[in-house]
Structure 1
Amino acid sequence: MNFKVDQEQMLRDLRGLLSIASTNGDAGVIDEMTPLGKNINDAIDYMLAIGKRFGFETQNLDGCCGMVDMGEGEEMVGVLVHIDTVPVGEGWSVDPFDGTVIDGKVYGRGANDDKGPAIVALYAMKALKDSGVPINKRIRLIIGGDEESGTWRCMDRYKETEIIPDYAFSPDASYPVIFAEKGILKVQIHNKTDVAGEDLTLKAGKQINIVPDFAEAEAEGRRFTAKGKPAHAMEPQNGVNALLKLGHELKETGIDHPFLTLLDRANVEGFNIAISDEVSGELTINPAIGRVDEQGSRLECDIRYPVTADVDDIIERIRQSVDPVGYEVDAMQIVPPLYVKKDSPLVQTLLGVYRDITGDRTEPMAIGGGTYARAFNNAVAFGVLFPGEPDMCHQVDEYWSVKDMMVNLQIIAGALAALGVSKRGM
């Protein structure tokens, strides 16, 4: 079936959503009504207004997340999206909040992750409704406002009062289907005894799930800087870590400091955590935030570990590696991995829809990213990036092509149709 929507109106709605600066951690006034920031709440309300325009039932859950519902039935299909974004960063060639369209691509922070997919998923629900396909389940779009922090306060609020979907997918990763997501371990490695002074002051990184693209330091009366390339912490090899570059430069200059020794060890070999499994692959580490100042020296790392690994063992290995140089380790956050078997009905249903529409026979895969899918049982990530295409998630000049939007709309609407008419308890 070919699902139809008003493409121009969809693009106008996307541009409107992109114009709201719903940056996680910097989203305007925070109060009891808008605990994640006014702009987060505004972005949720913006989505809900579109849902109401389409004739769906909507609800804003205390400024943390929103819900758009269609259909009836005892079982529920969930679609999990988010409207918060990472910081803009520097070096954009266009206004990151304008939704500029150039050569068939919509540019803006969140165009690809995850405002664009959120709008497309909402329009897919509208297309399914207009198609007249009979569904026997409720379909709910769950619009989160706190995905990028990794703490997912929006999901915590949702679970307090709302129905957990019987099966769900999140268009916040790649095709064909993500059946496994590595565990996420965020650690702070610190030693408050070597405070900044004449020897070294250092600052690098803003967000733990992004490879730092700039680092600066002062030592021996000189200023040092290093530039890198940002990338998501799930694939740090796609970026260039400015913090590690700066540490290497300082060491080459002959500057000696315990923090620089720590940076030398901040890799899988140095921390003795070079582990992998057949399901999800190798452990990765992103040394993301480095500080040496009057409060001490500290390094925050984002680690993505295989689904079969023991997280306590990983922490202990790091502890043993940094103790000799006088540092301690605190686990800031542990997010357990997701693993839904490849032959499960959910994975096979989504895979079948994807293959029917695209003809692509790529197998389901595991990733290092963390999506809302792991917030629920029987949920997976599904889309939106096609195999072989550049990943603009968290990048300068982030964009999403209109062509890919429209193919994604067919896939998401088709998935909702397939799940919406599936047998009970699939």
Structure 2
Amino acid sequence: MTIHFDKEAVLEALRGLLKIKTVSANAGAITPEAPLGTGINEAINYVLDLGKSFGFRTKNCDGYCGYVEIGEGEEMVAAITHIDTVEVGDDWTVPPFDLTIDGDRIYGRGVLDDKGLTIVSLFALKALMDAGVPISKRVRLIVGGDEEGGNWACMNRYKETEETPSYSFSPDSGFPVIFAEKGIMNIIFQKKLEAAMPILKFSGGKQINSVPDYAKAVFNGQTYEAKGKTAHAMEPDKGDNALLKLANELRTAGIDHPIIDLLGRATTKGFGIDLSDAVSGELTLNPAIVQVDDKKAVLRCDIRYPVTMKSSDLCAAIQKATADLGFDFEMDHDVKPLHVDKDSFLVTSLQKVYADYTGDLSEPMVSGGGTYARAFENAVAFGGVFTGEENTCHQTDEFWSIDSMAKNFDIIVKALAVLAQ
């Protein structure tokens, strides 16, 4: 199979997509045609219009998601990507909503997660069609608009009326195959504050699935600030949590407040969930968003839990470990773990594509990330970051390499060809 990676065309298409602001929950006006924001619908249509120009069949599913499709046959296989992004945050040195090229690196919000891989996947379908690769199934690229928000209204809408793929993968994680993804649980602590309590105003964090890089507090007319480093919530150790830094600073300054006590306990050990399993490793905790005024204190956290554990057991442990602090506790969101048999056709086929291309015989992996693979049966995460590459998802000055982009293109073409045989 001879395929060609048209670097200039891919980069130009990506530039156009990056210019459309698709920040989750902040993507423009909500309308009947754009239930997730006008930016989301515009970006979906941008991808579909590119697909139409290539000769693909397309459909916009009410502004929630869309797809492009090639080929014929009763069965269908798919790659699943998303065009929404997390918040930009502070301290960018390049324009976040444009494409900056610096040697082999390309910069912009979503360039890796997941606009870049959306465009790469679109061109992979084009390469399959242009090369005349013999396939017996239809091949579809499904593009969602609500991945980062966590509610996945896009995939819920898709499944209401659209066809489920026989096999699919989401190029929104890493290599080799991600056969298991940890459970994702969001929790909320809330406490009403007594009128006699000294007023502390404390805020920080914008996105539940990102390590907060800035926090601010005001107490007795004095302002306190902390800067950290953002990172994906699945790898909180790669960031520097500004909420925890500021709470420690306030504690050192002699300030007493329930939110400071709670943040002082906001570790896996402090919450009684310092746990792991043999399949998927350690549980991770990201204290993500704090909002405190004179009436109420709120902390929202993101937890990625091992595939053999139950969220109900974790909630019980957290409640027991924090009961003395007097906060109301609830689980706001729970996405069950993904675990596909390592010996399945899907995993072994994609592993072979990866091994044949790279020579790397590494075993399938586990991720703390949450991808659209959870939306369907017979689906895994496959694609994005290679072993040893820096993963800049959700980070300031998010970047990807053109070399990695080209390699992803080759692998995605071959993966779709194998699944569609």
| TM-score, normalised via structure 1 length | 0.97
Once the two structures are superposed, the pairs formed by residues 24-39 of structure 1 within 5 Å of their partners are 24-39=24-39
| Alpha-carbon displacement from aligned partner over 1:209-248 (angstroms, at most 9, x marks no partner) | 1100001111233111111000010010100000001111
What secondary structure is seen at the aligned counterpart in 2 of 1:394? coil
Equivalent-residue separation in structure 1 for 2:244 and 2:88 (angstroms): 22
| C-alpha contact 1:203 1:215 (8 A) present in aligned 2 | yes
Deviation at 1:21, TM superposition (A): 0.8
Equivalent-residue separation in structure 1 for 2:192 and 2:332 (angstroms): 17
The equivalent residue for 2:123 is 123
What secondary structure is seen at the aligned counterpart in 2 of 1:59? strand
| C-alpha contact 1:187 1:330 (8 A) present in aligned 2 | yes
Once the two structures are superposed, the pairs formed by residues 37-48 of structure 1 within 5 Å of their partners are 37-48=37-48
| C-alpha contact 1:192 1:295 (8 A) present in aligned 2 | yes
The equivalent residue for 1:373 is 373
Equivalent-residue separation in structure 2 for 1:268 and 1:335 (angstroms): 19
Equivalent-residue separation in structure 2 for 1:182 and 1:194 (angstroms): 39
| C-alpha contact 2:78 2:416 (8 A) present in aligned 1 | no
Equivalent-residue separation in structure 1 for 2:108 and 2:304 (angstroms): 27
Change (3 A) 1:240 1:417: same
Equivalent-residue separation in structure 2 for 1:133 and 1:85 (angstroms): 33
Deviation at 1:321, TM superposition (A): 1.6
What secondary structure is seen at the aligned counterpart in 1 of 2:373? helix
Once the two structures are superposed, the pairs formed by residues 310-389 of structure 1 within 5 Å of their partners are 310-389=310-389
The equivalent residue for 1:144 is 144
| C-alpha contact 2:199 2:293 (8 A) present in aligned 1 | no
What secondary structure is seen at the aligned counterpart in 2 of 1:187? strand
What secondary structure is seen at the aligned counterpart in 1 of 2:263? helix
What secondary structure is seen at the aligned counterpart in 1 of 2:351? helix
Deviation at 1:415, TM superposition (A): 0.2
| C-alpha contact 1:196 1:294 (8 A) present in aligned 2 | no
Equivalent-residue separation in structure 2 for 1:415 and 1:302 (angstroms): 32
| C-alpha contact 2:67 2:142 (8 A) present in aligned 1 | yes
| Alpha-carbon displacement from aligned partner over 1:238-269 (angstroms, at most 9, x marks no partner) | 00000001111111111111111111111111
1:54 aligns with 2:49: no
Partner amino acid, structure 2, of 1:123? F
| C-alpha contact 1:196 1:293 (8 A) present in aligned 2 | no
| Alpha-carbon displacement from aligned partner over 1:169-196 (angstroms, at most 9, x marks no partner) | 0000010110000001101011113479
Superposition RMSD in Å: 1.2
Equivalent-residue separation in structure 2 for 1:140 and 1:89 (angstroms): 33
| C-alpha contact 2:5 2:406 (8 A) present in aligned 1 | no
Equivalent-residue separation in structure 2 for 1:172 and 1:109 (angstroms): 14
Once the two structures are superposed, the pairs formed by residues 1-400 of structure 1 within 5 Å of their partners are 1-194=1-194, 198-400=198-400
In the comparison of the two structures, how many residue pairs are matched?
Answer: 421
| C-alpha contact 1:100 1:108 (8 A) present in aligned 2 | yes
Equivalent-residue separation in structure 2 for 1:409 and 1:270 (angstroms): 44
What secondary structure is seen at the aligned counterpart in 2 of 1:43? helix
Any gaps of 5 or more consecutive residues in structure 1? 422-426
Equivalent-residue separation in structure 1 for 2:305 and 2:22 (angstroms): 29
Change (3 A) 1:196 1:117: farther
| C-alpha contact 2:64 2:153 (8 A) present in aligned 1 | yes
* Higher mean displacement: 48-57 or 394-403: 394-403
Equivalent-residue separation in structure 1 for 2:11 and 2:195 (angstroms): 51
Deviation at 1:61, TM superposition (A): 0.5
Any gaps of 5 or more consecutive residues in structure 2? none
Deviation at 1:295, TM superposition (A): 4.0
Equivalent-residue separation in structure 2 for 1:187 and 1:154 (angstroms): 23
| TM-score, normalised via structure 2 length | 0.98
Deviation at 1:147, TM superposition (A): 0.4
What secondary structure is seen at the aligned counterpart in 2 of 1:361? coil
| C-alpha contact 2:193 2:294 (8 A) present in aligned 1 | no
Deviation at 1:71, TM superposition (A): 1.0
Query: How many percent of aligned residue pairs carry the same amino acid?
Result: 55
Equivalent-residue separation in structure 2 for 1:384 and 1:249 (angstroms): 38
